[in-house]
Amino acid sequence: MKKFLFLLVLLAMAAGGAWLYFKGMPMRNKPTSVATALPSLPKPAREFRFGVLGRPSELPLRALSRMPDLQDLPIKFIPCTSPAERWLMLTSGQVDVIVASTDELASALPRYEVDLNLFPMALQNGNEQVVGSKDGATPPWVAYLPGGVGQGLALDLKDPQLKLLSLQSPEKATAMLKAGQIRACSLWNPYLDQAKSQGFEPKGQPANNLEVWVSAHGGIQTGRLSEEDELKVVRAWFDLMRQLAEQPELTQRAIAEENELQPAQVPVSLKGLDFYSAGNLMANRLKLRDDLRTQMRDKVNLWSLAGQPVGGNIERLQVDLDWLSALGLDGEAPVPMPSPADSPTPAPEDSATPISRTGGDPFDRPGVSSGGNTTQAGGNASHTGVLPGPALTSEPKQLWSSTMGSEPTSPIIASPDGSQLFVGLDDGNLACLDRTSGRVIWKYPMGERIRSAPACHDSYVEVACDSGAVASVNRADGQKHWQVQVGSDVVGPLTEDGGALLLASYEGIVTSLDLNDGSTRWSQETGANITAGLAVAGDTVVACCIDKKVRSFSKTDGKPGWQTALGDACRATPCIESGLATVGCGDKKVYGLRVSDGTIAWKRPLPDEVACAPVALGRNVWVGCKDNNLYCIDRANGDEVWHYPTRERITNDLVAAGDTIYAVSQDMRLYALGAADHKLRFKNKQANWLQTPWVQDSILYLPVADGSVKALK
């Protein structure tokens, strides 16, 4: 027993010693589970990608880059060498949309198990056909082009001797046909018409297939695009088709320039393609769905009988168009393609259309001077639009570009001594720039967006913003001289004349402030909204109102004078020269009103509304119309003298310097036109929307919506 107890004591001592030994050893770090972080991939660039083969139905796609709703969405075109490559890129998310014929669609749909949005965008009405040689001794090959309907057209010939040959380009097919290396080939326009004119005869029936817009949502799946981006592009497409119907010459010219073609080539290339408008598509959606299904089924049957069966799931040919309801498309008229003879596109130098004129000018009297050492939008208190000049008359180069930190939202003006420039910004600041270098000297905060053009006199510049605040600022240091509140949004350019600052507010109040201290000289309610600035001639202030009336007030005390009813709302700042006020109206007319009593001297119908301030220079007045034209009108009788087409509508006020008229259009271009010779001096393209420029010392100062002001010389 004693031995047993002794052994237990020894074991306990050994265990205790071991515990003390290991306790004294340094602890090893316990392994921990480490999550291996995957490297974060950069977000793909936001851009919309089209996969293209160079077919005629793809030509209008490139003009989408000019649509206003897509200015924030870069559009890219990926050239593809074959339909197979294009479908692989579509289904893998490398492109977002392709335009496929029903032949291509019938072959691809059963093979690719992907979710698609598609709709018929055009009907082939003779755009593609087989043509061939009359010489029966030529090799019995009939060539067809990738992505078209040529293979089906060739099989439809039902000639067992003919063998099919796939070629990559219409140029190659035409060359082989001319050389007698093939008997026939399928061509699309303009190659089809060229081959016919060279004596090759049509074979079989021309194509009457559908051209189909196909999207596989690849951009959405990769995070490159949102669902709204896809819908926005489709809406822009139908807007483009509407423009093609309403403005065929202008739209075809845009398509030509974006595809680097001559303008006359576009109607020839699109001949035999009838594009669907939104109204046609939505009204005939069920019929078009059935037509599309039938055409694809017929193609599959034809190929199967010819020993070329289509693999995959044939049930995928049962497409539907129900997703189109998400677009909110409204009804529109059909979009016929004009023939080349119906749509001549003049060169820019020849585009002005002169019209004969007769009679004298009863308003050819000296104009009214604003007086005082002032500068303002429109050049003077009468808003004739004539700037100091001299004019910039040749293609300019950029002298400097100054970053504003925010989008310029007002026209730009210079100081009376020509040393400074002033422009209002979207962030509520008035920016003062050095005119020589473009350096920002100071900014004055107004708190709300500034859309009214500032005005300048002596040592001060006046500015108003959307909140109704009006301020006078020291030009030297940007410090406040005075600031007052006049009510709601101040609209149109500010007008200075005879020591008074005259302005209009959206709620319909015309106000005169003393330039010395900002005190109110007088204020008058019109009873109607106002969206434009005021013009002054002598003691008469003219205001255009939304209630279809033009009103006058005394500049001295604000006493109401005459009022003249017109056919619709007047949204543009009037222009007064030699006793005649030129007013654009929503009834698609331009009116000449006698400033003395408001009576109508003449009225000139135009295709659309004039919603920007005109320019009066010499005997004529120029107006920018929403029909995408600049019109020159005789101030004596309202007769049209000439007009010049721009790509998009003109909605910014016109200006002139010397004998040159300047207009900015919604196509992001500045147009300079000779007032006397009616010729285009130059046009300057920018990357974003433009505000009304200022021209002085043959330098043009241009506010651009990308947040910059540019000097061009």
Residue 114's pLDDT is 77
| Whether domain 128-203 has CATH 3.40.1670.10 | no
Residue 218's pLDDT is 78
Q: What is the DSSP string of 248-283?
A: HHHHHHHHHHHTT--TTHHHHHTTTEEEPPHHHHHH
Most confident of 16-20, 28-32, 274-278: 274-278
DSSP state letter for 303: H
Cis peptide bond upstream of 206, omega within 30: no
Among 9-23, 193-207, 394-408, 599-613, where is mean pLDDT lowest? 9-23
- Alpha-carbon distance of 89 to 84, in angstroms, equals 9
Longest dimension (CA), the chain: 148
**Residue-range domain boundaries for the chain:** 48-123+209-345, 128-203, 374-712
Q: Report which secondary-structure segment, H or E, holds 481.
A: strand 480-485
| Residue 22 banded pLDDT, cuts 50, 70, 90 | very low
Model confidence at 9: pLDDT above 80? no
Model confidence at 348: pLDDT above 80? no
Model confidence at 522: pLDDT above 60? yes
Which superfamily is assigned to 48-123+209-345 in CATH?
Answer: Periplasmic binding protein-like II (3.40.190.10)
Cβ neighbours of residue 370 closer than 8 Å, sequence gap 6 or more: 376, 380, 381, 382, 496, 497, 536
Residue 709's SS3 state is strand
- Alpha-carbon distance of 170 to 186, in angstroms, equals 8
Torsion angle (degrees, nearest 10) of CA 676, 681, 685, 690: -30
Q: CB-based burial of residue 364 (10 Å sphere; 0-12 exposed, 13-18 middle, 19+ buried)? A: middle
**Main-chain dihedrals φ then ψ at residue 671, nearest 5 degrees:** -110, 135
Mean pLDDT of 133-162: 77
DSSP state letter for 516: T
Mean pLDDT, the chain, integer: 83
Residue 306's pLDDT is 65
Residue 344's pLDDT is 33
Model confidence at 372: pLDDT above 60? no
Decide if 48-123+209-345 and 128-203 have a common fold: yes
DSSP state letter for 59: G
Question: What is the distance between the terminal CA atoms of the chain, rounded to a whole angstrom?
Answer: 118
Residue 26's pLDDT is 42
**Is pLDDT larger for residue 330 or for residue 146?**
146
Model confidence at 19: pLDDT above 70? no
Evaluate whether 693 touches 412 at the Cβ level (below 8 Å). Answer: yes
Q: What is the DSSP string of 83-128?
A: HHHHHHHHHTTS-SEEEEEHHHHHHHTTT-----EEEEEEEESSSE
Residue 217's pLDDT is 83
Residue 308's pLDDT is 67
Residue 329's pLDDT is 60
Which single residue is written with the structure tokens 């009907």?
123
Q: Report which secondary-structure segment, H or E, holds 213.
A: strand 210-215
**Is pLDDT larger for residue 367 or for residue 10?**
10
> Angle formed by the axes of helices 248-258 and 227-246, to 10°?
130
Q: CB-based burial of residue 384 (10 Å sphere; 0-12 exposed, 13-18 middle, 19+ buried)? A: buried
Mean pLDDT of 362-370: 39
Residue 324 CA, chain-centre distance (Å), reads 24
| Residue 203 banded pLDDT, cuts 50, 70, 90 | confident
Which single residue is written with the structure tokens 């056919």?
567
Cis peptide bond upstream of 190, omega within 30: yes
Q: 708 has which bridge partners? A: 403, 704
What CATH number was assigned to the domain covering residues 374-712? 2.130.10.10
Cβ neighbours of residue 285 closer than 8 Å, sequence gap 6 or more: 321, 324
**Main-chain dihedrals φ then ψ at residue 290, nearest 5 degrees:** -65, -40
Residue 101's pLDDT is 87
Model confidence at 38: pLDDT above 70? no
Structure tokens at 399: 């002298």
Model confidence at 358: pLDDT above 80? no
316-323 contacts at long range (C-beta below 8 A, 24 or more positions apart): 316/109, 316/110, 316/113, 317/106, 317/109, 317/110, 317/293, 318/293, 319/109, 319/116, 319/118, 319/289, 319/292, 319/293, 320/289, 321/118, 321/119, 321/285, 321/288, 321/289, 323/117
Residue 146's pLDDT is 65
Torsion angle (degrees, nearest 10) of CA 296, 299, 300, 306: 180
- Alpha-carbon distance of 564 to 551, in angstroms, equals 7
- Convert the pLDDT of each residue in 649-702 to its tens digit: 887 899 999 999 999 988 889 999 999 888 999 999 998 888 999 999 999 999
Query: pLDDT over 90 for what percent of the chain?
Result: 44
Most confident of 56-65, 156-165, 433-442: 433-442
| Residue 634 banded pLDDT, cuts 50, 70, 90 | very high
| Residue 327 banded pLDDT, cuts 50, 70, 90 | low
Among 112-126, 309-323, 520-534, 647-661, where is mean pLDDT lowest? 309-323
- Alpha-carbon distance of 705 to 686, in angstroms, equals 10
**Is pLDDT larger for residue 149 or for residue 238?**
238
Among 244-258, 381-395, 449-463, where is mean pLDDT lowest? 244-258
Structure tokens at 138: 């030529």
Cβ neighbours of residue 238 closer than 8 Å, sequence gap 6 or more: 277, 278, 281, 327, 329, 332
Which single residue is written with the structure tokens 């559908």?
210
